Amino acid sequence: MIDYSWIVYLSTFLFALGIINILVKKDGINFIIGIEMIINAALINFVSGSAYLLNENGAVYALFTLVVAALETTLIVALLLLYSSRTGGALFSSLRNLRG
């Protein structure tokens, strides 16, 4: 069995990559990828913590969170595709034009 600290290191690394992706990239799709990396890092901690404690509550919570995150991502991608088809791009700097 893999040591619990290695799993925490993996999720920390994945969380840091997600934060860097959000801060560096200005494209809408890359922003969503960064958010998903952060959510997956948290889910790795939930599942590994539940396995370490011999309890299934973390795995059930992770499954529920994964379903909600998939629905959220589907909605955001649909909105970004609609916006990019009307304007020609999905950069967040161009979203300032939406102000009334």
Q: For the segment 14-36, what is each residue's pLDDT rounded down to a tens digit?
A: 999 999 999 998 777 888 889 99
> Both tokens of residue 69?
């995150």
Kindly report whether the global pTM for this prediction surpasses the value 0.85.
Answer: no
Those residues whose C-beta lies under 8 Å from the C-beta of residue 67, and which sit 6 or more positions away, are none
Average pLDDT over residues 70-83: 85
pLDDT above 70: residue 100: no
Domains of the chain: 4-98 (1.10.287.3510)
> Both tokens of residue 32?
């969503």
Give me the amino acid identity at 71.
L
User: Cα separation of 100 and 94, whole Å?
Assistant: 14
